[in-house]
Structure 1
Amino acid sequence: MEGLLKRQRAIFASELPIRTLWLAGALAALLIVAYLPTLQTIPSGAEETPTTPENYFMRDVGETQIVLNVWGTLHATGYPLYVMTGNLLVDALRLLGVDAVVAPALVSLLWGLVALALLYILSAHLTGHLIAAAAVMVLYGLTRTVWIHQVIAEIYTFGLVILLVLLLLALWRAPIRHRVYWLAFVGGIGVAHHRAIILAAPALIYAVWPLLNKEPRHLRRTLLICLGIGLTGLVPYLYLPLRAWMGAAWVYGDPGTLAGFWDQFIGREATGFVGLPHSFLALAENFHRVNYVIISDLTLPGVLLGVAGLIVGVQRYRRAAITLALNGAVPYLFHVFLYTDILSALILPATLSLVLGWLLLADWLFSQARHTLADVRIRYAALMRSRHLLQLITQRGVPPLAALLLGIALETDNHLFIDNLTSDPRGLQTIALAQTVPDDAALMLAWGPRYFAVGFAQAVRGDLPDLRLVDHQADFAALLAEGRLVTPPYTFFNQSLDWWEARLHQPVYLRAIAPDLIQIDTQPERAAGVPLRTEIIPEVGVGISEMQVSCPRDRVIMRVAWYAPATPPRDLSVFVHLIDSRERRIAQDDRSAPVYGWRPLTTWLPGEVVRDVYTLPRPPGSHTIRYGWYTQLENGSFQNFPVGSLSIPEDCPR
């Protein structure tokens, strides 16, 4: 064993300087070629919904895009060192002409490439197999969680750099002066960056335990010194109150006060995710959720092979294998049993350890191949001529081929998935919607990706200077006292009508004032005896008092003022169809109820006017708009109550 390790160290020392530069450079270029088409180049707007749970990757990306451009502060726990270094890098990139929305993603890519380079160095150092180390680097770089964080503005590649520095310090074979103190220093920086880094402590303590326990009587003093060194990692937290006191453009929470700073520091808002699941069913669901993410990253065979590699690796690299097993197992178990939301900071250590398990498995297979070939040479002299060829194929050909096949599979599986997230147009769509908000109205967007998109337009681009943007924690009563309050229809899926009424302490009435904009009112619009453009159908109980058609940008917009002299007897759906000259329906904007489905007829007051907006495309041949009401019968068929139709005005611009 000692001879083998000496040989590997010799290989590492003699070959790494030259071959690493060429190999690492070529592979980094290969990964960059894969990453760049998916790099996020637009304001983020992808939202996590019950139908798109994978969008959890994008929760905070828009906020980070802003903060790294304006020297702001992030959500708890603040990540001040990342924010400061990120702003410096973004400033430098923007001086070089890089767009403000692209620069934060490039910061992630920079840290991510550093992390992968450190992974290559660690892998090569552990086994001496440079090609296997290169394969591990590329494959890990192509896993879903690593890839997505290389191309979006997020904190996790920075944390991955810190974790890999810790593993290198702990597992480097050559003596490192004050190794334990260096681990304390980097570990303190890591825990200050993200509290999940503390879960690497059991692995690191195991790796350096012989050093810690070398003089047991000095252990307490050593640990106290380590604690003091580690606490220096908290110094960057001074950034949070300083930026708050300086009036930074984007400050999360209230870190300028002691209570607000403490909330940020301990991450109080995330405490709801920490703790045992409330039932066995919840535990099983969390177990499934965590394993689904890991298997999506590595594939099920990849997970099993990684575990196998960590097991067999104990034979040849006991300290490294057990350290890596602890590095992956502790975050994994914490995630399953004590954290009820997907957190990439807990996923990445687990997948990192499993990928390094592939390395140890490959090393074990190489060793078995050498023993097998030696036995063949002794027993079958006739095969001597093919020995070198067989050895070359086994040791040099199989790992690259296996890595190539798995790499192709990962690239194929992840490229489209990641591209769909980074090119999601909802951020741009929300900015476009904000441009239609009336001057006297405030726009409410719940804190999240869409809010960040408009915030980016204002704080970074300098657009929408007159828009008053508020989130779901605003004082809505004060806003209504000053003017109008509008919000998109999708708001009510999370902030329901009951939620609004509880916040305003009075009934709320909704009306559509523009495409995808609903106005919040506390008083209904009423009219008695208004002239009607359409007669009231008895089965419906609603007529039309006003109607207007306009045609902006190849669209047809129909504005309607519905009028009900009495509360309608039942709820009906609305149909609005675009008809061509041959009486064919070519587009529609049907609703389950007026006002984007949020004003069922039975909620109307007697004499209430409910304003509504319908939007249709305008393909060639558009001729007539036909509108009315309908309901679905028990047998599945539809009963229509046509109200009327109107021709698209000839002077309506295209």
Structure 2
Amino acid sequence: PTAFFTALLLWLLIRFGETRRQHDLPLIAFVAGLGLTHHGSLAFVVLPAALYVLWLQPDVLRNGRLLVRCGVTFGLALLVLLYFPIRGAVDAPLNPGGLTTLDGFLNHVLARGFRGDVLAFTGRQALQDRFAVLVNILTIQFGWPLLLLAAIGLLSPLLRSPISDLQSPTSKQNWLLLTLLFVLVAGAAITYRAPQTVEYLMPAYVALVVLIGLGADQAARLVRSPGLQAVVLSAALTVGLANIWQIAPSHHQLSRQADTRAVVQPILRDAPANAIILSNWHWATPLWYLQTVEGLRPDVEIQYIAPAGAEPYPETWRRRLTEVLDGRPVLVTNRYQTYAGLPARLVPLHDAFLVTTAPVQVPANASPLDTDFENTVILRAYTLSASSVEPGDDLTVRLWWEPQIDAQHDYSVFVHLVDAGGRPIGQADVRYPAGRLTRGTLIEDAYTLSILPTVPPGDYQVIAGFYFTPPEGGFQRLTTARGDSVRLGTVTLAPRYSPPVTHHPLEMPFTNGPTLVGVDYDTSRSDSTRVYLHWRGAPGGPWSAILSRAGQAVGTGAVPTVPAGTYVTTAIDVPPGVQDLTLAVEAPDGERRPGLSAWRLPLLGPHVRLPRIKPGERYLVFGGEMALTGANWKVDGREAVVELEWIGLKPLLRDYTVSVQLLGESGWRAQDDGTPALGAIPTLKWIRGTRVVDRHRMELPEGATGPADIQLSVYDAFTQAPLSVLDDRFQRAGQGVAAVIGRLD
């Protein structure tokens, strides 16, 4: 509706500029009023609209009868707002309360609770950062070619004559209307503190679309031939269609998603009788819908936890949770560190948490085991979150186990995903201090196995066991009657049917072999450069990939056989700083297959040149959701600035927080956690290929000296669950959820 009202107003205004019919003004006033009832941000559209009318016909202010008619139609449109007190009087569903009083009505309509967020970013540095975010958003929405056409349209009054012709669609008045609308809306959006910046810019998008059309028309007029003019206009249209073609798969995928129902319906369905669900706004609305419209679980009370002014949101959650703990069963959708110390524990219930003081019990849906490990531990039961996963996914294993002795030293639990040869391709090890291990106390915990993007499809086994570190060092596994681990189940790693998102897309087939569809480089570690090769499978194989520099091999890796038309990623580590890499593909018989040209002719030879590695280039995948593609940092006075570059690997369905920590060698710390792009581009708005620049500023503490490691992590804003770092090099270094990506000197 925001874009619709903006477009309708622009059309009515430009038509008024052409006809100068004053009897159109009451209609314009009515549409402006309706737009304001939809959303108050359209005031930044109404203001330039009023200035446009006054510039064209300043004598309007002397026409009292016309002003009254405009005021009446504008007021009639505002009558829509009477819906709020009328529905509030009958206590309609979702009634926030207070709508039947004048003060409460004005609070709701004028959004007074958000006054502190207006003009929140007005300092010089903040405006510079927010302007960079604006550019990032516009490139996501339009891309540079269309923005170039918009710039030409913006300059059209200087390029086309006569600019004083008021009947021209590119007159000074129309240009001022579009320019002022864009500037006001963009200025209001980037200085407002809210994660809806992308949506608040919608009126500006409409103005840009008109400017793009004007720019395409102006570009076509730069050539005299009508045929060439048609080519220029067709090229502009093709750019727009190419944008649609690029984003269409993501939106098609999203159209087939039922993620919201899949999350909230099980929570509401399986909540205990007469429970209270404390929810964030993201899940509260669909929960209310299921209850109010579909009649699901009317016995459950759903409470939305609204921000409480200056009180930190995690503290608000703890306070509200404490208020309801002593009565009915309680579920929460958000998990915070502030819950520590409460006389209760959180038990996962689908995508929420049941707050309970009851002792741990094995749930009915768990698979029983009752496997004894040397009369020291009994593994009672387990659950697997899935039986089939894809590369980049996480597999969650829940275990229920019970110590049979009062432990004298620490014990560790291991959960491994192993291939047919018993080699671990994913693992989670957790140490439990002896003080936590009491005879007969049932322990429940979750272990996350991260499936690396480089793992080929197939069947894998999940195993679990226990070990401890003896005084002489090393480790010693506890054994059962059948060995030193227990098999929990088989997990199938499914083939990947969509091509990976890559910095360097390619289409490079090899004769009777796989096709290289992309390459990425990760220079995050100083000891090596990792080369990711993305392949489309073909019959035959397995093949060997050989990376060379100046004719000397610097790295090799296997390219597994995958079904034709599916995709697989391989990783090869090469010495740091190498450039001018070439790739050869070797068949099982040792023959090197030549690369094929665009016409599938063997013209490239057996050694194919790869794109150059850019300084600081990265490809560090977090949870199969997003990848870090660049990172820069500097110290500016008493402030450290870390700028990250991200790319979305698929349409994201969760709201993630990016955490940057500085860990000083001398013990000092600084940290900044937030929604990407200064809160303006939440991950919920990312699709496949979305590129986001994410700047973090941290004030250095007093006395901070010496170098510091830059540690990066990403976690779910609601559940605090971290995304795994899908790189075995970082995992081996103990950085499976928080990666050290550089050093600040």
Q: 8 Å contact 2:60–2:66 — kept in the other structure?
A: no
Among 328, 336, 352, the alignment partner of 2:190 is 336
Give the AA of the match of 2:415: V
Shift of 1:591: 7.1
1:90-105 equivalences under 5 Å are none
Aligned twin of 1:320: 174
Alpha-carbon distance in 2 for matches of 1:261, 1:204: 27
Conserved? CA contact 1:430–1:453, under 8 Å? no
**What's the CA shift string for 1:202-260, capped at 9, x where partnerless?**
432333225642266x2788667645542332211111222233343333455345444
Task: Name the amino acid aligned to 1:243.
Answer: R
The correspondence for 2:464, drawn from 620, 626, 642, is: 626
Could you say which residue in structure 1 is the equivalent of 2:148?
A: 304
Contact 2:273/2:299 (<8 A) preserved: no
568 and 215 in structure 1: CA distance in 2 versus 1, 3 angstrom threshold: farther
Instruction: Assess if the C-alpha contact under 8 Å between 2:278 and 2:302 holds in 1.
Output: yes
Offset at residue 338 of structure 1 (A): 4.8
**2:305 counterpart residue number:** 472
Distance between the aligned counterparts of 2:274 and 2:53, measured in 1?
A: 62
Residues 483-498 of structure 1 aligned to structure 2 (within 5 Å): 483-487=328-332, 491-492=334-335, 496-498=336-338
Question: Aligned with 1:178: secondary structure?
Answer: helix
Aligned to 2:21: 176
The answer for the alignment partner of 1:398 in structure 2 is 232
Shift of 1:583: 4.6
Q: Is the 8 A contact 1:508 1:522 kept in 2?
A: yes
Q: Write the letter of the residue equivalent to 2:209.
A: V
Contact 1:442 1:470 in 2 (8 A): no
Return closer, same or farther for 1:156/1:643 CA change in 2, 3 Å cut-off: farther
- 1:520 aligned to which of 340, 355, 373: 355
Match of 2:400 in 1: 560
- Deviation at 1:568? 9.7
Change (3 A) 1:364 1:550: closer
Opposite residue 345 of structure 2, the aligned amino acid is L
Partner of 1:59: none
Distance 1:603 1:519 in 2: 26
Greater helix proportion:
1
Counterpart amino acid of residue 576 in structure 1? V
Q: Is the 8 A contact 2:5 2:31 kept in 1?
A: no
Gaps of 5+ in 1: 1-154, 373-389, 527-531, 538-542, 594-599, 632-636
Cα deviations by residue, 1:302-326 (Å, 9 ceiling, x for unpaired)? 2232122232236442222222222
The aligned residue for residue 236 of structure 1 is 80
Deviations 1:374-400 (A, max 9, x none): xxxxxxxxxxxxxxxx43x1343431x
Q: C-alpha distance in 1, partners of 2:71/2:347?
A: 59
SS in structure 2 opposite 1:626?
strand
2-side partners of 1:638 and 1:441: how far apart?
52
Match of 2:13 in 1: 167
Distance 1:424 1:354 in 2: 31
The residue aligned with 2:716 is none
Q: Residue 507 of structure 1 aligns to which amino acid in structure 2?
A: L
Shift of 1:193: 1.6
Structure 2 match to 1:198: 43
Structure 2 residue ranges without an equivalent (≥5) = 164-170, 307-316, 362-369, 389-395, 451-456, 491-745
CA distances 1:586-629 after superposition (whole Å, capped 9, x unpaired) = 876x3768xxxxxx869969887543466999x99887742337
TM-score (ref. length: structure 2)? 0.49
Q: 1:438 to 1:250 in 2, by over 3 A?
A: closer
Bigger share in strand: 2
d(CA) in 1 for partners of 2:255, 2:489 = 40
Q: Give the superposition deviation at 1:567.
A: 10
Match of 1:576 in 2: 415
* Contact map agreement 1:167 1:204 (CA 8 A) in 2: yes
Do structure 1's residue 510 and structure 2's residue 340 form an aligned pair? no
Aligned to 2:507: none
Residues 1:481 and 2:326 are matched in the alignment: yes
Aligned CA distance change for structure 1 residues 266 and 395 (closer, same or farther; 3 Å) = same
Judge conservation of contact 2:52–2:173 (CA < 8 Å) in 1.
Answer: yes
Per the TM alignment, residue 410 of structure 1 is displaced from its structure 2 partner at its CA by: 0.8
Q: Structure 2 CA distance, aligned partners of 1:182 and 1:438?
A: 51
Please give the residue correspondences for 1:11-410 in structure 2 after superposition, counting only pairs within 5 Å: 155-171=1-17, 173-210=18-55, 212-214=57-59, 218=62, 226-227=70-71, 229-252=73-96, 254-277=98-121, 279-313=123-157, 315=161, 316=163, 317-338=171-192, 341-344=195-198, 346-365=200-219, 367-369=221-223, 372=224, 390-391=225-226, 393-399=227-233, 401-410=234-243
TM-score, normalising length from structure 1? 0.55
Q: The residue matched to 1:628 in structure 2 has which SS?
A: strand
User: Are the aligned partners of 1:564 and 1:604 in contact in 2 as well (CA < 8 Å)?
Assistant: no
Does the CA-based 8 Å contact 2:40-2:110 persist in structure 1? Answer: no
| CA–CA distance in structure 2, aligned partners of residues 236 and 568 of structure 1 | 72
Equivalent residue of 1:214, what SS? helix
One-letter amino acid matched to 2:34: I
CA 1:433–1:497: 2 relative to 1, 3 Å? farther
Aligned residue identity for 2:295: G
Q: Provide the rounded CA distance (Å) in 1 between the counterparts of 2:474 and 2:245.
A: 44
Separation in structure 2 between the aligned mates of residue 584 and residue 638 of structure 1, nearest angstrom: 19
Q: CA RMSD in A?
A: 4.7
Contact 1:309 1:359 in 2 (8 A): yes
Q: How many residues align?
A: 439
Matches of 1:361 and 1:624 in 2, distance apart? 59
For 1:460, the equivalent position in structure 2 comes to 293
Structure 1 Cα separation of the partners of residues 342 and 99 of structure 2: 36
- Counterpart CA distance in 2 for 1:563 and 1:269 is 53
3-state SS of paired residue (2:19): coil
Contact 2:3 2:206 in 1 (8 A): no
| Gap change, CA 1:351 and 1:584, over 3 Å in 2 | same
Q: Return the alpha-carbon distance in structure 1 between the equivalents of residues 286 and 88 of structure 2.
A: 22
Change in 2 beyond 3 A, CA 1:276/1:458: closer
Answer whether contact 2:157 2:172 (CA < 8 A) is retained.
Answer: yes
The alpha carbon displacement at 1:283 in A equals: 2.1
* CA separation of 1:614 and 1:444: change in aligned 2, threshold 3 A: farther
Does the 8 A contact of 2:407 with 2:437 survive in 1? yes
CA drift at 1:585:
5.4
Structure 1 residues 267, 247: CA separation in 2 closer, same or farther (over 3 Å shift)? same
Partners of 2:352 and 2:197 in 1: CA distance? 34
Q: Which residue of 2 aligns with 1:412?
A: 245
Distance in 2 between the 1:467 and 1:338 partners? 36
Please list the CA deviations of residues 461-513 of structure 1 after superposition, one character each: whole Å capped at 9, or x if unmatched: 3345555544436853464333432346xx22xxx131x36xxxx62442536
Aligned identity (percent) is 20
The answer to whether the 8 A contact 1:331-1:347 is kept is yes
Aligned in 2, Cα 1:642/1:285: closer, same or farther, shift over 3 Å?
farther
Larger RCO of the pair (alpha carbons < 8 Å, separation 6+): 1
C-alpha separation between the residues in 2 aligned to 1:441 and 1:615? Answer: 32
CA distance in structure 2 between the partners assigned to 1:186 and 1:211 by the alignment: 19
Name the CA distance, whole Å, in 2 between partners of 1:360 and 1:622: 58
